Structure 1
Amino acid sequence: MTERALRPTGLLAGLRTRRAVPRGSYDGSFFLRRTLAVVAAAIMLVALGALSGTYVGFDFVQAILDVPGGFAWMATQFVPSFSSLQKLDAILPALGSTILASVASSCTAAVLAYICAVLGSRAVGVGGPFPLVVRAIASLFRNIPVVAWAFILLFSFKQSEFTGFFALFLTSFGYLTRCFLESIDEMSAGPVEALRACGASYGQIVAQAVIPMSITSVVSWVLYMIETNIRDATLVGILTGTGIGFVFDVYYKSFRYDVAGLVLLCIILVVIACELVSNFVRRRIL
């Protein structure tokens, strides 16, 4: 055989000519490339932020200098006083109505969203165009902000408790439908296939397989939706003239900042309490 025939070619030649790194040795080129990529991405984000701030006229330095003064004003003006405590008889009923509206809208939306999610699921749905229709409706309701829904519904239902309830319901329905669809599609297909093999009906499959396997995720999402709606109901109440949002708006516009601060404190305490309760329930059911 000639010397040319014995010479390695192709992939083998490339492997032999490449400088091999001994096992256990340090190759700094990889980490250098990774560091340069991270630095380049950070510089790009900073440049993009600076360009956007310049376009809208945002002065970052002045904003940083104004932060201490803003917090100092909030600490002196929004601190509840002894006289503001006398307004609790007007604050607590409005807060209670806001909580009840949030719970009612979340639970009502959860029931309808779960039915639509089961029928529109790719795993256990009825098939046909129904899954596409359900996902399209869920995306439409979910992507329209609750504030936009409140403005739209104000023209039809005026300022009322039902307007706030309906705005929270539509947003919750779209969000929960999407979450329930993902939860049902991700569950194990084994029990469903076993029931189908045994000749079970569609209702029996839903009752014996779909609901038991998805109920934990459903409860968790509903609790999260209640927390979110309590926060959103404050802003919706300002627009619809109902609930705790309306009470806050009245005292804020009348320059009673101490009472407005008390309203904010009550809202914060309710949201924290709801979060603690939901976390406790999640730990018990998971």
Structure 2
Amino acid sequence: MKTNYRSPQQFFRQRQLRLWVVLIILIAIYWLSMAIVSFQTIPSIVKVPAGLVWLFKNFVPTQRSISYLGPILYQLWRTLLVAVSSTICASFFGLIFAILGAKTTTPSPILRVVIRFGASLLRNIPVVAWSMILLFSFKQSDFTGFLALFFMTLGYLTRAFTETIEDLDGEKLQALQAVGANYFQCVFCGVLPEVASTLTSWVLYMIENNLRDATLVGILTGTGVGFLFDHYFKSFRYDAAGLIVLLIAILVILLELSSTQIRRAIA
């Protein structure tokens, strides 16, 4: 009987050949895309250093920027509240939908399909698109930004929570059912305690992510620190706009450090 034997050299040579083929295909797709949209790669790369020099020259906060600190901190606080409140609300509903939509805890296969489809739909609509859609109904307000972040976060967390619950060992649920536990006892005693740490990590991650998105949403809805950035930028007060960017970066870093400590505490 003839065996198909490949030496280690042949194996690595074939893998290297596949890698080169994939790389060539990706490069061809890139150049084809650039040709279609008439994007000039080399001239654009040459202009990058000059653009960075202009950026650091104009967007560095100055002595005058301190006079804008009060309004900036107030709007930054409002933006943080919108990001946190939308994430918390989306987490609550996302957990309910995830329990009903997970393969191990769903009461109905049809309900599972409906929830998964809805989560994918909400998640795949960008937050910018949500802002523009809701802007016509709710006008320029913090509530519009809240809803835009809420719908996108709801879809994202529902999917993440669902996969987390489905990764849970099903034998524990079967053991609870074997001793006579009902549906709610299985969920609250067998599922939630096991996945609480992972779910909390997802919530903290989305708070960080939504703070960044809330700035962009504010530009579109005319609220929060995003609107203030847009106002300063269009008024050629680049130093104040740079101060906003700096404060947002500091706040995101502080949130990330706090989230890391919380994850370690509940791990």
TM-score band by shorter chain is over 0.9
Identity %: 47
Distance 1:153 1:244 in 2: 19
Q: 1:3 maps to which residue? A: none
Q: CA deviation at 1:128?
A: 4.0
Q: 1:167 maps to which residue? A: 148
1:107 to 57, 71, 88: 88
SS in structure 1 of the partner of residue 262 of structure 2 = helix
Distance 1:62 1:171 in 2: 37
Q: Which stretch of structure 1 is more off in the superposition, 98-107 or 124-133?
A: 124-133
Q: CA deviation at 1:30?
A: 2.6
Q: 1:271 maps to which residue? A: 252
Distance 1:123 1:210 in 2: 10
Distance 1:262 1:112 in 2: 36
The C-alpha deviation readout for 1:92-127, integer Å capped at 9, x for no partner, is 010001001100000000001101111222101212
Q: Which stretch of structure 1 is more off in the superposition, 187-196 or 73-82?
A: 187-196
SS in structure 1 of the partner of residue 47 of structure 2 = helix
Distance 1:172 1:126 in 2: 24
| Number of aligned residue pairs | 267
Distance 1:34 1:128 in 2: 41
Distance 2:188 2:18 in 1: 52
1:148 to 115, 118, 129: 129
2:139 to 150, 154, 158: 158
Does structure 1 residue 65 correspond to structure 2 residue 61? no
TM-score (norm 2): 0.96
Q: 1:118 maps to which residue? A: 99
Q: 1:252 maps to which residue? A: 233
Does structure 1 residue 50 correspond to structure 2 residue 31? yes
Distance 1:68 1:182 in 2: 44
Distance 2:212 2:140 in 1: 19
Q: 1:82 maps to which residue? A: 63
The C-alpha deviation readout for 1:81-102, integer Å capped at 9, x for no partner, is 0111110110001000100110
Q: Which amino acid in the other structure matches residue 101 of structure 2?
A: G
Q: CA deviation at 1:272?
A: 1.0
Q: CA deviation at 1:31?
A: 2.5
Q: 2:178 maps to which residue? A: 197
1:240 to 221, 228, 249: 221
Distance 1:35 1:167 in 2: 45
Distance 2:115 2:89 in 1: 17
Distance 2:172 2:16 in 1: 48
Could you list the runs of 4 or more consecutive aligned residues of structure 1 that deviate by over 6 angstroms after TM superposition? none
Q: 2:192 maps to which residue? A: 211
Q: CA deviation at 1:133?
A: 1.1
Q: Which amino acid in the other structure matches residue 162 of structure 1?
A: F
Q: CA deviation at 1:130?
A: 1.0
Name which one, 1 or 2, has greater alpha-carbon Rg: 1
In structure 2, relative to structure 1, the CA distance for the partners of 1:46 and 1:124 (3 Å cut) is: same
Distance 1:204 1:43 in 2: 55
SS in structure 1 of the partner of residue 60 of structure 2 = coil
Unaligned residue ranges in structure 2 (runs of 5+)? none
In structure 2, relative to structure 1, the CA distance for the partners of 1:190 and 1:67 (3 Å cut) is: same
Q: Which amino acid in the other structure matches residue 21 of structure 2?
A: A
Q: What RMSD in Å do the two structures reach over aligned CA positions?
A: 1.4
2:165 to 172, 184, 192: 184
Q: CA deviation at 1:32?
A: 2.4
TM-score (norm 1): 0.90
Distance 1:204 1:38 in 2: 51
